[in-house]
Copies of this chain bind each other. A is one copy, B any other.
Amino acid sequence: MLEEEAAYALLDVSASSPLLMLGLPKGSLEESTKNLFAKAGWNITTSSRSYKPAIDDPELDGRFVRAQEVSRYVEHGFFDCGLTGYDWIQENGSDVVEVCDLIYSRASVQKSRWVLCVPESSSVQKPEDLAGKRVATEMVGTVKRYFEAKRIAVDVEFSWGATEVKVPDLVDAIVDITETGSSLRANKLRIVDTLLYTNTKFIANKASWSNPAKRKKIETIAMLLQAALEAGSKVGLKMNVPKANLDEITRVVPSLRNPTISPLSSPDWVALETIIDEKVVREIIPQLKTLGAEGIVEYPLNKVVY
């Protein structure tokens, strides 16, 4: 009997009256959301029925719902706060507080965007060419508003899935989400226009945000989620450097921002320690070696708060 209980163990602790109800995105974002909260300091565990998780904080309760629905129920007030995409806040037209962005800081990762696409071989070159045609999408409201604003009469239909294979057989164009465009290319699609850029947001209900106790808790969660995200692309780096080269090193390697410099027992050397973007390490270690650094060590981080 013991094993099945793990997921529920801490739920019981919080049986009293939690301060905040959290809206969490179910499905493809579920695992990464749980991992992000774990790094931030909260264990969210779900049993096979993933709707109602256990959270190891008596002040928190939560529910997993579809990402598309989180903002709706934050606005209605069932959730005090929640994670969802900017796209679905817009599609639902939800009146909520956008507390902060939750984006990975890696430079190379581009923002996702919703794009209007046609087959590469299509004669359609601009939105106007779609007048009188059919467009499939999961964001019917946004797409209808887009064409109405342009005064183009288009038949927009809801797509239940696999939107990208629907052109040209089933519809004339689609509006779908893409990050780099490579999946579009794989389906031989061409982008005609971009309707919306999106990323994950931490949002709050307006009344909850006005309540000082709730707002303080929401801000704490936001700070720690960002600290965990930040740590995901950062590493700790420490090394011993000859005092003589210290200036040159910090000049030549500007990404060594605000290093902690501590004395060592040997007076000619100092210990230099800093937090640095993981992506630049592969470039600066050769430089540091050249400048006389020794015992260079990189170690992983859980959280970073500047």
> Which residues of chain A have a CB within 8 Å of any CB of chain B?
1-6, 8-13, 26-28, 40-42, 48-49, 51-52, 56-57, 63, 65-66, 68-69, 72-73, 76, 78, 108-110, 112, 157, 159-166, 169-170, 176-184, 219-220, 223-224, 227, 231, 235-236, 240, 258, 260-265, 270-271, 275, 278-279, 281-282, 285-286, 289, 294-306
The chain B residue sitting closest to A166, CB to CB, is B65
Residues of B within 8 A of A26 (CB): 161-162
| Docked complex Cα distance between A180 and B3 (Å) | 11
- Determine whether the beta carbon of A178 is less than 8 Å from that of B301: no
A85 to chain B, nearest CB (A): 10
Q: What residue of chain B has the Cβ atom nearest to residue A224's Cβ? A: B282
Given the known interface contacts A170-B65, A264-B260, the answer about A223 and B2 at a Cβ–Cβ threshold of 8 Å is: no
Per CB-CB distance, the 10 closest pairs between chain A and chain B, nearest first, are: A41-B282, A8-B182, A66-B160, A298-B303, A298-B302, A296-B305, A51-B165, A261-B265, A9-B180, A5-B183
A285 x B303 contact (CB < 8 A)? yes
Q: In the complex, are the beta carbons of B275 and A303 less than 8 A apart?
A: no
Query: How far is it, in angstroms, between the C-alpha of A296 and the C-alpha of B224 when the chains are bound?
Result: 11
A236 touches B299 (CB 8 A): yes
Q: Complex Cα distance A51/B27, Å?
A: 22
Known: A40-B282, A279-B41, A285-B227. A182 touches B5 (CB 8 A): yes
Residues of B near A231 (CB, < 8 A) are 297-298
User: Could you write out 17 A-B pairs with CB less than 8 Å apart?
Assistant: A6-B179, A9-B182, A56-B108, A56-B279, A66-B162, A69-B160, A220-B286, A223-B286, A227-B298, A231-B298, A235-B302, A260-B271, A262-B262, A263-B263, A285-B305, A294-B306, A299-B300
